Every structure is written in C-alpha cells, then in structure tokens.
Structure 1
Amino acid sequence: MSTLYLFHKPFQVLTQFTDPQGRNTLARWLDIPNIYPAGRLDYDSEGLLLLTDDGMLAHRITHPDHKQSKTYLVLVEGQPDDNALKALSNGVTLKDGLTRPSRVRRVTSPQVHRREPPVRHRANIVDTWLEISITEGRNRQVRRMTAHVGHPTLRLIRTAIGQWTLDTLSPGEWRRETIHMPRKTSSKSARPSRDRSRRKPE
C-alpha cells in the first residue's frame, strides 16, 4: 500500500517546501514529513497537486509512458471560435514541437472558488472558460497553447490528474488516499481507498 495526498494548491504557491525568497510554499499547508510532489503546478496556477512518499507511485503518475490525462479549467481572454477550439483539439505547433491531440470544450459559468487577488477584468473584453484535457506535461503547455490561437490564459485551475480529482477540496485543503498498487510496472491502474482527512492552515 502507498499513501497519496491530494492538495488543492492556491494561487501563487510554489510546488516545493522551501524558498529562499520567502514566497508561499507547500509547507504552509502540509506539515507531513518525507512527502514530495508527484509532478508540478506553476506558481501562478491553481488546483490539484499530488504528493507522496512512494517513489514508485510518483514515477507511475508522472512518467510519460503512462500518459496520465490532466484536465484544466482555463479562463481565456476573448471568445475562441470553433476554428480555435479545433486547432487546440488537433494539436498546435509550439517552439518545442506539435502538441498531442487534446479534448477541449467551452464551459458556461463553472463553479470555481474566488481567487485572491482576483483576475483583472477589462470593460470591453469578454472572457471565456474552457475545459482542456491533455496527456503530456510540457512547461506551461496549456498557457502556450491558448496564446498560440490568440486567446491568452487569464486563470488556470487543474481539476484532475488521471483518476484523481479535486472533488470538493477548497484551496488549501487536502485529503489522503491509500493506494493499492502492484509492485511491478503493469498496465493495471492503481486502486484508491479514500481517507477524508483534511487540513487548512491555522
């Protein structure tokens, strides 16, 4: 058995436990010894971050061979038309090559938590929420993809990684799951058993 921690990372928090510059880190919310992130989430992005003390589980989650789907709610500037959505779905050519096909759809009024500080809205520009699912993890990939089709990302919230989702976690909350996983790499999926432990900072 392995233990996995699902954490709702707030905006402007580093996915590490120390920072010489004094910025917010995971240590403010997670006082759990010997765990580390399985993957990363940018400082200015929000949402699901997975952490564990099991190197094999971390490898299974992050290794490209397993192609774990990652789903994001993305607030973009403007109103992407069908051609822009088709381009995102089929793959766009970035500086590091063509992206894999993704799943993209418009989302009307998603239920999201208030961000501090909030996104700055401009009077004459309409913003649009998209749901984007990708199976690769290039640096700032979703932001680069939406910018490529002319719609810069204003806010990005990761809602799922593979079978794991934010569910009802609020920013700064976490929950623990016990994972029953084969000790040898295989095509079988890890099976979670949830523990609803949660914690917010004092």
Structure 2
Amino acid sequence: MLILFNKPFNVLSQFTDKGNEGSDRQTLSDYIDVPNVYAAGRLDRDSEGLLLLTDDGRLQNRIASPKAKMPKTYWVQVEGIPDEAALAALRDGVALNDGQTRPAKVRRIDEPAGLWPRTPPVRFRKSVPDCWIELTITEGRNRQVRRMTAAVGHPTLRLIRYRIGEWSIDGLASGKWRPA
C-alpha cells in the first residue's frame, strides 16, 4: 500500500508527538487513520506538500534512501528575486557546512496555480520582493532546500514538496490523502 498525503504547514511527519505530553501539535494521526503505514522520508513541520506513506519496507527504503537518488521537486517561495548567478549556483551544487550538494535542477516559476493559503500566512513585506522557484534535488539532507536557498542569498519563505519520483500532489488538497 502507498498513500500520497498533502501535509499541511505545522504538522509533524509522524503519528505521535512522543515526549511532548499535553502538546497540541498536530501529527499524521490527525489526518490519516490507516493502520501499519509509515512515512517514507520526512518533511519538516514548517514545510508542506507531498509525504508518501507505505506499509512496504522495501518501497519505503527505495523512496527514502539517499543511495536511490530519487528526485524530489519543491516549489519554493524565496525572499528577493534570484538572478542567473544564484540559479547557476544552485544548479552546480552549493557548499554547505556538511559538504557540497549535488547539482540541482532549478527555474523561476509563477506562483503555482491553485495554491492553497498557508495558515498562518507568510509575512508580507512591501520593501522586500519575493518570487517562486522550482527546485529538484536527488538527496535529502536535513533542511537542505532551505539551507541551499539561504546560501545563495535568498532565504526560503514557504516550502512545498510537489513531487517525489513519479508521485505528485496534483489534484490533492492540503490535508487530504489518497491511495497511489
């Protein structure tokens, strides 16, 4: 079984919030009531979008393992307007404190059509422009996309994982799931 879930902002990518008794943080169990499925990889609490869940250990490993190099595509709202030099740096790989990233595919895009509002909304500042980029990576380091955009001078304001391999959030509203 494989489930595609469009994870909302501020939801943990796990079914329980262990060690935080009395916490009101939302988890996957607030949205998905399917036994014996587990997230294949993670998506930070402050990120949104596609999370795959499965009961198949081999498939989970194929999706999440860095050795598999499964491409992951993100829609990223960044502060400022990246110039060609910033985009080229992302394409070539960025030096982070834990080493050089693999080359990425990147392009500027319009705000994605049908994008749901984020709660709470991203803070708008009249004096600082922002734009959207589409970024595809084949690794999954901790907070990698956020660190990459910051390294080229364009901090991430909103991060949505759009696609993992062949699966995407097309037609899947925020907070909803469906079998693949």
What's the TM-score, normalizing by structure 1?
0.85
Residue 76 of structure 1 corresponds to which residue in structure 2? 78
Give CA deviations for 1:147-182 in whole Å, capped at 9, x if unaligned.
0011100000000000111111011111102xxxxx
Q: CA deviation at 1:22?
A: 2.9
Residue 188 of structure 1 corresponds to which residue in structure 2? none
Residue 28 of structure 2 corresponds to residue 26 of structure 1: yes
Give CA deviations for 1:40-88 in whole Å, capped at 9, x if unaligned.
0000000000001111110111112211000000000001110000001
Question: 2:131 corresponds to which letter in structure 1?
Answer: T
Q: CA deviation at 1:109?
A: 2.8
Q: CA deviation at 1:123?
A: 1.1
User: Helix, strand or coil: the match of 2:121?
Assistant: coil
Residue 9 of structure 1 corresponds to which residue in structure 2? 7
Question: 2:14 corresponds to which letter in structure 1?
Answer: Q
**How far apart are the structure 1 equivalents of 2:167 and 2:92?**
25
Question: 2:34 corresponds to which letter in structure 1?
Answer: I
Q: Which residue, out of 111, 121, 125, partners 1:118? A: 121
Structure 2 gap segments, 5+ residues each: none
User: Helix, strand or coil: the match of 1:65?
Assistant: helix
Residue 160 of structure 1 corresponds to which residue in structure 2? 163
* Matched pairs, number: 175
**How far apart are the structure 1 equivalents of 2:3 and 2:89?**
35
**How far apart are the structure 1 equivalents of 2:160 and 2:62?**
23
Asked whether the equivalents of residues 11 and 45 of structure 2 are also in contact (C-alpha less than 8 Å), the reply is yes
What's the TM-score, normalizing by structure 2?
0.95
Q: What RMSD, in angstroms, separates the aligned Cα atoms of the two structures? A: 0.8
User: Helix, strand or coil: the match of 2:12?
Assistant: coil
Residue 90 of structure 1 corresponds to which residue in structure 2? 92
User: Helix, strand or coil: the match of 1:128?
Assistant: strand
User: Helix, strand or coil: the match of 2:32?
Assistant: coil
User: After TM superposition, which residue ranges in structure 1, 4 or more long, deviate above 2 angstroms?
Assistant: none
Give CA deviations for 1:118-139 in whole Å, capped at 9, x if unaligned.
1011011110100000000000
**How far apart are the structure 2 equivalents of 1:50 and 1:60?**
12
The structure number with the bigger radius of gyration is 1
Moved more, 38-47 or 57-66: 57-66
**How far apart are the structure 2 equivalents of 1:125 and 1:88?**
21
Give CA deviations for 1:73-115 in whole Å, capped at 9, x if unaligned.
0000001110000001100100000000000000023221111
Asked whether the equivalents of residues 75 and 135 of structure 2 are also in contact (C-alpha less than 8 Å), the reply is yes
**How far apart are the structure 1 equivalents of 2:24 and 2:57?**
28
**How far apart are the structure 1 equivalents of 2:68 and 2:88?**
25
Structure 1 gap segments, 5+ residues each: 178-202
